[in-house]
């Protein structure tokens, strides 16, 4: 006689399914997404780990850790900085949405931010 298999509906977040708190799961899912984007970028650009390290201004061992999925070694802010160095426009979508919040108020914050962003080296809008 065979046992009945019990299925449990999972969430859209693998980390939630693994028992992490909602907050931790969202953070891990976000970092995992950013890491996946960077790894795919490296592959599509045909970069070696050494070339990727030079482009991202980090060590080759850090690229190795990234490619091997060592999520605990990378913060979201570091991953976002790496994407910026690769030319991804990280803040443009946030800036557009946030500007709606200030439509009838002082928008100088966005002007100052855009000016600061355009002055940063290695960042392309």
Look up the CATH number of the domain holding residue 70.
1.10.260.40
Indicate if 52 and 112 belong to the same structural domain: no
- Work out the average pLDDT over 2-30: 79
Indicate if 41 and 58 belong to the same structural domain: yes
Residue appearing with tokens 């970069």? 47
Task: Of 3-12, 61-70, 101-110, give the lowest mean pLDDT range.
Answer: 101-110
- Whole-angstrom distance, CA of residue 15 vs CA of residue 28: 7
- Work out the average pLDDT over 70-99: 85
Domain carrying residue 112: 89-125
Residue 93 has pLDDT above 60, yes or no: yes
Indicate if 47 and 108 belong to the same structural domain: no
Helical ranges in 1-125 per DSSP H? 14-17, 22-45, 49-56, 60-67, 76-85, 92-101, 108-119
Is 20 inside any structural domain?
A: yes
- Whole-angstrom distance, CA of residue 103 vs CA of residue 84: 27
Indicate if 33 and 46 belong to the same structural domain: yes
Confidence of residue 1 (pLDDT cuts 50, 70, 90): low
Mean pLDDT, the chain, rounded, equals 81
Is 101 inside any structural domain?
A: yes
Confidence of residue 69 (pLDDT cuts 50, 70, 90): very high
Is 8 inside any structural domain?
A: no
Indicate if 79 and 123 belong to the same structural domain: no
- Work out the average pLDDT over 95-107: 64
Indicate if 75 and 124 belong to the same structural domain: no
Number of domains, the chain: 2
| pLDDT at residue 18 in the model | 75
What is the model's pTM?
A: 0.67
Per-residue model confidence as pLDDT tens digits over 27-54: 999 999 999 999 999 999 999 999 999 9
Are 120 and 90 in contact by the 8 Å Cβ rule? The answer is: no
- Residue 53: C-alpha distances to residues 5, 26, 66, 86, 88 (Å): 47, 27, 11, 11, 16
Indicate if 67 and 118 belong to the same structural domain: no
Is 62 inside any structural domain?
A: yes
Is 61 inside any structural domain?
A: yes
| pLDDT at residue 108 in the model | 61
Indicate if 43 and 69 belong to the same structural domain: yes
């Amino acid at each position: 006689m065979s046992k009945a298999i019990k299925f449990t509906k999972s969430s859209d977040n693998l980390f939630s399914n693994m028992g992490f708190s909602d907050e931790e799961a969202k953070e891990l899912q976000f970092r995992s997404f950013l890491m996946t984007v960077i790894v795919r970028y490296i592959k599509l650009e045909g970069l070696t780990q050494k070339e990727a390290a030079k482009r991202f201004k980090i060590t080759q061992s850090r690229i190795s850790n990234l490619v091997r999925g060592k999520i605990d070694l990378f913060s979201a802010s570091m991953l976002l900085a790496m994407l910026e160095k690769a030319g991804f426009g990280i803040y443009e979508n946030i800036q557009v949405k946030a500007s709606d919040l200030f439509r009838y108020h002082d928008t100088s914050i966005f002007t100052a931010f855009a000016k600061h962003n355009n002055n940063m080296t290695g960042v392309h809008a």
